[in-house]
Structure 1
Amino acid sequence: MRKSYVMGFFVAVALLGLTCYGVYADETRDYFKVGVITSLSGDLATGGNVTKRGYDLWAEEVNRLGGIEIDGKKYPVKLVYADAQSEPSVGASAAERLVTQEKVDFVLGPYSSGVTLACAPVLEKYKVPMITGSAESPLIWKQKFLYTFGTIPPVNYTGSTPIKTLASLTPPPKTAIILGSNDAFSKATAEAFKAAAEALGIKIIKYDIVPQGQDLTPYMAVAKATRPDIIAFGGHDEELINLVKSLRQINYTPKALLMHYGVTEPAFVEALGKDAEGVFGATVWTPTIPTHGEVLWPDAKSYGEAALKAFNVPADYTQAGSTAAGIAFQVALAQIKATPPLSYEERKALVSALEKLHINTFYGVIDFAEEGEYYHANVGLTPLTVQIQKGQAVIVGPPEYAEAPALYPLKPWNER
């Protein structure tokens, strides 16, 4: 009786270990099953669907070519979507389900830093690699998750660039109001703007983190009263659009209006029309930058054309970063010659391969940091400043990448 009990105990422990490591010994398949967690509903659905377009385009192109080639044989990919519904807790549950029920080989990660921060510990527990194509909060990389990577650099890596561009204009701006929405990415964006402005001697008249979805009109009324040269805001899609509408409503135009993600998204210009003109933003990719891809697309231009053909919507840097996440997995899998379904040992090897990855893609260089504050974030890209000019996001800084001079100061709303 005692012997049976002991044997049963060890069998249970062994089974638990298999479950925790996500070893799918009972499954045989000739394709990679790829989990995708993103927000297809809720407040972040616009950005979530941008990541979806990026992941879908990678999968479609890989499968059009027969699959991921591993040691002379090609394996198709199948994407299995889980809707995070713009809620971190829902995203964490989705990650659990993708591993334990769907038995995915690896994960393409969420839109938004908050959801990513909730999913990463779950995937760490099950030892399943994830690359996010959009999350930018430095909080993710400070956690030093072994199994989580990101193709877009954190905002504290990119956020100082547009402030430096603005500081170089004539006459240079002297004052700023900086706001951020109360979520991981937006707060980090506002913090990056503030740190860069202070370092360059720009006086911060007001700095505030505001509740998500807050009516920004009262804050813009303060701006109208204090007349800062720069208004900078860290937020998401609809918040950015509503900020411009608030300024338009009270008829105040700062010399410069700076945002981050969202400016390059086509929905921003579509929603605002001529009121989007002159707004500054930050990015690491546009369809016009010179890149040399070794996998799937030869350069940024060809990817942009493929994206436009597939979705009838111009690609922005989040869509491109999401596609690049798929490419990173694709190249690393080929390097270690791992075939589906992936075992625990193969997933460990996949992590090691991703850490050593250094490849040229249509998106630019993918090079995940192996240590330091950017651990497992992509540090192979150059941050860029863009400005909406004639309805397009045009690079205006740094000087060596500039496609046009910055329009400064902004034209008043009633003169457009």
Structure 2
Amino acid sequence: MNRRTILGTVAALTLATGLAGTALAQDTLKIGAVGPKTGPLAGGAEVSFWPNVQLWAHDVNAAGGIDVGGTKYMVEIIEYDDQTNPGETIKAVQRLATQDKADFVLAPYSTGLNIASAPIFQRYGYPMITHTAISDQIEDLSNKFPNMYFLLGGATGLAGGVVEVLSDMREAGEIGSTVAMVNVADAFGIELAEAARPRMAEAGFEIVYDNSYPLGTQDLSPVIKGAKAAEPDAFVAFSYPPDTFGLTEQAKIAGLAPKAFYTAVATAFPAYAGRFGAAAEGILGAGGIHADGDAFKEYAARHMEVTGQAPDFWASAPTYASFQILQMAIEGAGTTDREKVAEYIAANSFDTIIGPIDWDENNANAKYWTVGQWQGGVFKGVASTGRDGAVAAMPKTGWE
């Protein structure tokens, strides 16, 4: 469990120019950030989570801090690597609460790590605005942990978006009704696959290949060979970043090229298009964004300027939005009292870079992107549960 403390941008600048006394005299809020820097999910966190922690701290401090009842507080980020290990996530949050005395802790990365650490967030009263958790357990989780909020949606919504897109493509005569479906065997993949099976059956799709593989699997060629042998009209993988890349690579090698090819987390990463080039065109994936909207374009430009890398086209913006919500709730409540901040989150809507966020009775955002597609070098949203800016999906035309 490695600890790193990041002083805010303004403090760093004043230190560099010899004006440290002014910055250090300001009040400071300690903000904990826990996520993978090592382990199977490190690659995803290094795209969607950690750069947005850096960007948010920069933006807050460059603007003079968080206004709490008329007093401006700079933010100091205390980072821990949880090694993609739920036990380490729990230990890190507990350490932040008891040793580092963090005022607030940002929700961690991934479905499994959020669910595992929810009890410890609740124990210490930290509002937990999840940005990368997808689950159909939202009602149960919100009842157990009232301080837990959900931005990215549920498994049923994401799976339903996939079925919706496949149905539209079939109606257009672009694909048939057979599907090969695989999933990573962790909370995310298992829930998505379980949600997808009955919805595909209801829509008249036949799953001709259904397989799972352990998180961290290195050799995915047997999975792809099995899928190809089933000769599906569509391939659907509820995958995490390493396997999203691995499955796509193996599909190219094996010549698995249905006109509907879907992989989940990391399909929206700029590195995905960077690796596969023109072959990424037409590939479907989890999430999406209103890529042509001014709000995302402005955010993406600032993300590149501050962090030196582009955001992804799905979870990056909701991650930043979750931090915006925390800041607006602290300022709106006019206090750093965690209970009052949590109450403010539950009772209000928030205008964020992904648009307005309103909670339903289970502390969940009801409008989110479900499916995106690479079109013209940009991963554009093609299906959602109510967001504006969707474009029509198109069939994939091979791996050329």
Aligned twin of 1:24? none
* Paired position in structure 2 for 1:48: 45
Give the deviation of 1:300 after TM superposition. 2.3
What is the identity, as a one-letter code, of the residue corresponding to 2:90? A
Distance change (3 Å), C-alpha of 1:407 and 1:354: same
User: Closer, same or farther in 2 for the Cα pair 1:393/1:132, shift >3 Å?
Assistant: same
| Secondary structure, counterpart of 1:246 in structure 2 | helix
2:82 maps to 84
Distance 1:400 1:325 in 2: 17
Aligned counterpart for 1:193 among listed residues 182, 196, 203: 196
Counterpart in 1 of 2:376? 390
- The 5 Å alignment of 1:205-244 reads 205-214=208-217, 215-244=219-248
AA aligned to 2:342 is V
Deviation digits for residues 33-73 of structure 1 (CA, Å, limit 9, x no counterpart) = 11111111111111112201112211111111101122333
3-state secondary structure, aligned to 2:38: coil
Q: Does 1:301 align with 2:297?
A: yes
Q: 2:57 corresponds to which residue?
A: 59
* Structure 2 residue aligned with 1:125: 123
Cα distance between partner residues in 1 of 2:36 and 2:329: 26
| Residue 323 (structure 1) aligns with | 320
- 1:167 counterpart = 2:167: yes
Shift of 1:383: 2.4
Q: Does 1:248 align with 2:252?
A: yes
Cα distance in 2 between the residues matched to 1:394 and 1:151: 19
Which secondary structure state, in structure 2, belongs to the residue aligned with residue 35 of structure 1?
Answer: strand
Contact 1:232 1:259 in 2 (8 A): yes
The 3-state SS of whatever aligns with 1:224 is helix
Q: Which residue of 336, 350, 353 corresponds with 2:341?
A: 350
Which protein is bigger by CA-based radius of gyration? Answer: 1
Between the aligned partners of 1:126 and 1:392, the Cα distance in structure 2 is 41
Of all paired residues, the percent bearing the same amino acid is 28
Distance in structure 2 (CA, Å) of the matches to 1:148 and 1:401? 26
Distance apart, 1:350 and its partner CA:
1.3
Q: Per-residue CA shift, 1:254-306, capped at 9, x if unaligned?
A: 1211122211111222222233222101325344246xxxxxxxx22211221
Give me the whole-angstrom Cα distance separating, in 2, the residues matched to 1:64 and 1:95.
27
Which piece of structure 1 moves more, 114-123 or 309-318? 309-318
Q: Is the 8 A contact 2:26 2:73 kept in 1?
A: no
Partner of 1:33: 30
Q: Which residue number corresponds to residue 135 of structure 2? A: 137
In 2, Cα distance between the equivalents of 1:74 and 1:118?
33
Could you report, residue by residue, the CA deviation over 1:161-191 in whole angstroms, capped at 9, with x for unpaired residues?
A: 1320221122143111111101111222223
Residues 47-102 of structure 1, C-alpha deviations (whole Å, 9 max, x = no match): 11220111221111111110112233321111111111111111111111110001
Whichever residue aligns with residue 328 of structure 1, its letter is I
1:154 aligned residue:
154
Q: Is the 8 A contact 1:48 1:110 kept in 2?
A: no
> Cα offset for 1:140?
5.6
Quick check: 1:159–1:282 contact (8 Å CA) kept in 2? no
- Map Cα deviations across residues 327-358 of structure 1 (whole Å, 9 max, x no partner): 111111112110xxx4xxx2111111111121
1:359 maps to which residue? 350
Partner of residue 3, structure 1: none
Q: CA RMSD in A?
A: 2.3
- C-alpha distance in 2, partners of 1:395/1:336? 34
- Name the residue aligned to 2:19: none
In the alignment, what sits opposite 1:204? 207
How many correspondences in the alignment?
A: 367
- Give the Cα–Cα distance (whole angstroms) in 1 for the partners of residues 215 and 303 of structure 2: 31
The answer for unaligned runs of 5 or more in structure 2 is 1-24
SS at match of 1:131: strand
The residue type paired with residue 91 of structure 1 is T
Provide the TM-score with structure 2 as the length reference.
0.85
TM-score by length of 1: 0.82
